[in-house]
Structure 1
């Protein structure tokens, strides 16, 4: 029969405490109410917190709008901005009713500068109406594997029944980033709207992660009072690719960076 001295037991207990401490340190500290981290190559969930919970997604909604825009339209097509689109409030690229602008510039304005006006113009151009376009958005998201998303506008401004989840947004973001046009747009810190009549011609991304994290390559921010600060993000390091989503975060850039560092450490350790 093996006997343990007090010293041996104390040493074993001490080692166990160190092990628990290291494990606790390995788990990222995340302020977001809902979050998820995916290995974009395998689809494996590396971290999650209330990821299936339905929440207002704010402007991360525009990921789905852009998916349809790139797949159903021609970026060179020209559209005329309607009164409704030109007077849509909050974040905008300052479209005005009657302005001529290409679909490509509308998509860039929606993704880089988070233009709500651009999203309405996209929806009207492709579907004839904002209301009909949102039916396509919900259907597309469900086809991609989003389990509970329901969209009632193309931009994410508050609506009681408009919701998604961290999991759903990770699924649609993974799909969207496979599109070269989408991927090249969301990684830009600055972009030019060369085929529009109005101002501004140059816009700056709302995604501060692009300046703060060297491996970041997109995707989309979102902010409303109900949704809080949200971020759907992509990062690539060597052969590793991650998708992170944080919703209602107190520190969306910091949360996302910590998730990515955690995920890359796991991938590099395999």
Structure 2
């Protein structure tokens, strides 16, 4: 009888452990499910990955490719240049804005056709204009991917058509690219546009392009970015939304319910990972004559602020950088992982006026689901061990 009492008490103790909140993930966000093969949710300002599902697995991305095509073109091209439609671009298979052979259009206007209507003819014409050839442009795409730390990506064309087997990216890589691109005002303006009219040299009426991205109408605060589909890639989508200065972006690859999943993921991010300003540009730094060189905001779940630490390192007065106005750095660490380094400047330094850079750490948050499963697994193992420690003869008592 004592054995049965002992077992009941042991079960009660383990049940209380199972139901008790974890101190290190107090009020942790709940798990969330998507229908996608791969998915990623990113905070645009900090680059923190808030949710990931097969995040580093290379997959087909269809016309999400055009995010890379657009940002390279914006950065390296002259938006007022005229782009000429060549034989290669004319009549390109798949989605099209139906450009005529030899037609010329401002690069800025053609980018709307690229992003709103996913014109493969526009993608090819733009690539030839910026890169000198499609191959030249593809080289630029892969170099840009390396620069952004897109380690699981390789581009073979500017459109995303299923040409060959090497054209791939991962959900997390596409999230990094999107967060980077959304910091460009021209890119942001284009992908947030619902309807664009552009002069048509071939007809008496203008081109009129309605954005294929339904999230712009389905979700409050939605402001981008790109749809995609091929027979092999299936439905792909990148969307973004902003609320009270906080912008998030979602990537899903091969997702039959992308509109629904994006709404849930965006709401999940806004609800459980609010953006908190940790330091403001110009704030005095204790123990230093310098001030903070850059405002830093970071998305933190409930309880994570307690796990945040700050380390101030002052510059050596004998160094050249000190004479130029640098006074050191502030490092922010979450769970002992570096998430950002902020410069400290002399309050009179011209560097303070020009430094507005916001760097990405792309620090993937520790998966709450994995932490919770680890805890439950531990409790389950304890229960099983205790069960097997009680012999059959003891049960017979």
Give the TM-score normalised by structure 1: 0.90
Q: Which runs of 5+ in 2 are unaligned?
A: 275-300, 303-397
Q: CA deviation at 1:235?
A: 1.1
Paired residues in the alignment total: 266
Corresponding residue for residue 201 of structure 1: 207
Corresponding residue for residue 111 of structure 2: 107
Corresponding residue for residue 181 of structure 1: 186
Separation in 2, partners of 1:127, 1:32: 34
The 3 A distance-change label for structure 1 pair 18 and 255 is farther
The one of 96, 112, 115 aligned to 2:100: 96
The one of 123, 126, 146 aligned to 2:127: 123
Higher relative CO (Cα under 8 Å, sequence separation at least 6) belongs to 1
- Greater displacement, 250-259 / 23-32: 23-32
Give RMSD over aligned pairs: 2.7
Corresponding residue for residue 70 of structure 1: 74
Corresponding residue for residue 151 of structure 1: 155
Q: Which runs of 5+ in 1 are unaligned?
A: none
The one of 161, 165, 171 aligned to 2:166: 161
Separation in 2, partners of 1:201, 1:161: 34
8 Å Cα contact 2:200/2:206 also seen in 1: no
8 Å Cα contact 1:106/1:121 also seen in 2: no
Q: Residues 214-253 of structure 1 correspond to what in structure 2 (within 5 A)?
A: 214-253=220-259
Q: CA deviation at 1:12?
A: 9.1
1:47 lines up with 2:51 in the alignment:
yes
The 3 A distance-change label for structure 1 pair 75 and 197 is farther
Separation in 2, partners of 1:14, 1:211: 46
The one of 76, 82, 86 aligned to 1:82: 86
- The Cα offsets for residues 59-86 of structure 1, whole Å up to 9 and x where unpaired, read as 0000010011101111111122111111
Give the TM-score normalised by structure 2: 0.62
8 Å Cα contact 1:119/1:154 also seen in 2: yes
8 Å Cα contact 1:60/1:220 also seen in 2: yes
8 Å Cα contact 2:248/2:266 also seen in 1: yes
Separation in 2, partners of 1:125, 1:79: 6
Q: CA deviation at 1:19?
A: 7.6
Q: 4+ residue stretches of structure 1 with deviation over 6 A? A: 9-12, 17-20
Q: CA deviation at 1:101?
A: 1.0
Separation in 2, partners of 1:100, 1:248: 35
Separation in 2, partners of 1:14, 1:186: 50
Separation in 2, partners of 1:161, 1:250: 24
8 Å Cα contact 1:27/1:262 also seen in 2: no
Q: CA deviation at 1:196?
A: 5.0
- Greater displacement, 59-68 / 225-234: 225-234
Corresponding residue for residue 352 of structure 2: none
Q: CA deviation at 1:121?
A: 0.4
1:256 lines up with 2:262 in the alignment:
yes
Q: CA deviation at 1:267?
A: 2.2
The 3 A distance-change label for structure 1 pair 196 and 73 is farther
Q: Secondary structure at the match of 1:83?
A: coil
Corresponding residue for residue 176 of structure 2: 171
8 Å Cα contact 2:49/2:172 also seen in 1: no
